[in-house]
Structure 1
């Protein structure tokens, strides 16, 4: 089984007519994803990539039965696109857009409270259920259906870990990029809980980095819940300078907050196996599963 996605996931693309939206919509369709339409105000009634275009998410949902959206809208208007999808009560939104203004994302998170929507991102590479559905911009080719769930803050490291997990003969149930911006929707702990509840997931890999306290929140949860499934982790940025952003908008250590060594210590104390290097993640989760 997979989390978040299945064979019945029907997707609309917000911002489909731009270069990024067009390119990645083609990639998703070629993967076998059910893309059913696009949303771009002022282009309703037209078609793009032989798919119907709509002026609003509500119109697209009513006409197509869509139950998920992916957002390719530029940062200045990305929050409005997410809020529109939340108001339309779409169950799932993935936002690829990077560096959405933090105050805009605070408004989006407030709108999510009590809503029927789960948001992945912003600054997410998306969600991939191998052989079932690709809702994102991740590279494909090394993924295989399997039993390891992956939750990550880094797109490039996700691709590396997917290849290692496949090489270990395990495959993936689902990979989820929670997003690299400081303020985003689904947190690592929430994703971990979904994997723990999924009967098709036997092991879980967490890919973290400097900045924020999500990994410590995961460690606290693992300590209290004592899950029976194998959990491995990779934390990058051990030698990153403080108070300097490293790639992602959320990858920033301020004072004692977001330190990589503190994250590793918290996870190891909780019983999570932490890979000593990025090239050993596959071996680490395989060892955790075998023991």
Structure 2
């Protein structure tokens, strides 16, 4: 099993005719994702062709038309920052259920307005991102920019590790370690590093806890905000599965943004030490360095087995 996407997910790309949209749609097709079309206003009625896969997909002027003619249920957004929030809202209004916004640099005010609109008008829609690597259920569906070959799918009837991450590159490193250790993944979700994520760590913890195909959860956080503290508080009350975590930015100087728009320590909050303490108190096995993320999952699983 998995969360949010699987082999039956029908995907379109908003911005499919752009350079990034073309490349990553093609990579997702090569992985096996069921892409059914794309959207570029003004290019409707044309045909897109994957440079490596050779696959051809219809291009539509609007998401509503794409949904009507292809039955799409998910969208990958590669629209430039100035129009990306509108693209997200267009997808939600057209009936798309899972929106994966890869775009980096969307104005914070645009995302604040978009998230409020989504909550009020389409609460059933799940937005992943923005500024994220995407989501993958290994062997079934990849929507985004992550390298597919490092992921290990679960065998039939086997449960895997669910991954939640604010960092794209640390997602890849964690998955590589898990695969090297023989630990398959159920679903990996990069929520992005912006201050206003479409989906929170708490929401994903809830989904993975309910998923029978997830045996353990790895949470990769970073400095800035209080998302990890809130995730720890939720996990302590509601999550029964083995938990592991890593917090990036432990050596970052206070008051300076480190890469991600959300990774900033201010007003005495958002520091790594407080997040690590909260996670440990909630029962997470916390890795001291990025190189130990896979080992932390192993320890969490072993600890649960010994206590059973």
**Aligned partners of 1:90, 1:178: CA distance in 2, in Å?**
18
Partner of 2:47: 47
Partner residue, 2:296: 284
Matches for 1:2-81 after TM superposition, within 5 Å: 2-49=2-49, 50-81=56-87
Other-structure match for 1:97: 103
Is the aligned partner of 1:259 residue 2:265? Answer: no
Structure 1 position 2, deviation (Å): 1.1
Partner SS for 1:145: coil
Report how many aligned residue pairs link the two structures.
290
- Verify the 8 A CA contact 1:211 1:257 in the aligned structure 2: yes
Structure 1 segments unaligned to the other structure (5+ residues): none
Q: Deviations over 1:4-31 (max 9, x none)?
A: 1111100010001110000001100000
The answer on whether the counterparts of 2:284 and 2:300 sit within 8 Å (CA) in structure 1 is no
Give the aligned CA root-mean-square deviation in angstroms.
0.9
For 1:192 and 1:22, the matched residues in 2 are separated by 32
Measure, in 2, the Cα distance between the counterparts of 1:7 and 1:140.
14
What SS is found at the alignment partner of 2:44?
coil
2:158 is the counterpart of 1:145: no
Aligned-partner Cα distance in 2 for 1:56–1:257: 43
Moved over 4 A (4+): none
Per-residue deviation, 1:165: 0.7
> How far 1:89 sits from its partner (Å)?
2.1
Q: Pick from 112, 116, 119: which aligns with 2:127?
A: 119
Aligned mate of 2:224, from 206, 211, 236: 211
Q: Paired residue for 1:170?
A: 183
In 1, distance between residues paired with 2:117 and 2:74?
17
Instruction: State the partner residue of 1:221.
Output: 234
**TM-score between both structures, scaled by the size of structure 1:** 0.98
Q: 1:129 aligns with which of 115, 120, 137?
A: 137
Output the CA distance in 2 between the equivalents of 1:89 and 1:186. Answer: 18
Does the 8 Å contact 1:242/1:255 carry over to 2?
Answer: no
Deviation at 1:257, TM superposition (A): 2.3
In the superposition, the TM-score normalised over structure 2's length comes to 0.92
